[in-house]
Amino acid sequence: MKSLVILISGRGSNMQALLEADLPAGPITVISNNPAAEGLKFARTRGIPVQVIDHRAFPSREAFDTVLAEAIDAHQPDLIALAGFMRILSDRFVNHYRGKLVNIHPSLLPAFPGLNTHIRALQERIKIHGCTVHFVTPQLDHGPAIIQAAVPVLVGDTHETLAARVLVQEHRIYPQAVRWFLQGRLTLADDQVEIEAEGTDYGQEVLYSPGIEP
């Protein structure tokens, strides 16, 4: 069974969704750059090994990334899942894990890379928003998309209500993508995402239907 390392920085609700998804995974380890990350508590209560590597203890991004990579590699993971990991990773780090590093981002990429996606979505008055699981490449939030889910932006939405609606979908699509990977059905080849499910290669999937509860 394939092993998994999950990187978090805060609340850890996506990590929780992964841990509760009964994934076909071998050993799972959670690593946080933030000793106060809320998500660490849940991981510990589930008996998942956790490790904290506080980025503030390092003089540079590269120095932190080197130690983080050493800690990850000690587990020889097949997949590394960023789940609200709020550090920009160096190109060297990202390239080292090419094809085995995935992220969840709260927008329909390539729209709204970076931070404050829900505030920006409201400012732009878009009607459809959502989230994306993608392979990580050196350009921030630009790696090939694996799966996306869309939600409506409703009259009266605040960035909090919109974020909550998107988060429900994050918790659906992240376990789905990770499950595909762990089952050996999801690969990145020459920058192309390949997904094989039930013997059928059906590529990216969009999970929106108008019936989704707001």
**17-46 burial by CB neighbour count: b if 16+ within 10 A, else e?**
bbbebebebeebbbbbbbeebbbbebbeee
CB 69 within 8 A of CB 53: no
Cβ atoms within 10 Å, residue 170: 23
Segment 103 to 122, residues that bind ligand GRF, using CB under 6 A:
104-106
Q: What is the smallest separation between the CB atom of 180 and ligand GRF, expressed in angstroms? A: 18
Binding letters toward ligand GRF, positions 4-43, x by CB under 6 A? ------xxxxx-----------------------------
Residue 193 three-state SS: strand
DSSP-assigned states of every residue in 37-72? -THHHHHHHTT--EEE--GGGSSSHHHHHHHHHHHH
Q: Which of 105, 129, 134, 171 is catalytic?
A: 105
As measured in angstroms, the least distance from the Cβ of 12 to ligand GRF is 5
Select 122 or 197, whichever has its Cβ closest to ligand GRF. Answer: 122
Give the SS3 label for residue 120: helix
**Smallest gap, in angstroms, from Cβ of residue 201 to ligand GRF?**
27
71, two tokens:
């800690």
Question: By C-alpha distance, which of 77, 116, 102 is closest to 174?
Answer: 102
Residue 143 binds to ligand GRF (criterion: CB under 6 A): no
Site string for ligand GRF, 157-176 (x = CB under 6 A): ----------x--x------
Of the two residues 167 and 188, which places its CB atom closer to ligand GRF in the complex? 167
105 is an active site residue: yes
**Residues forming the active site:** 105
Binding footprint of ligand GRF on the chain (CB under 6 A)? 10-14, 83-84, 104-106, 167, 170
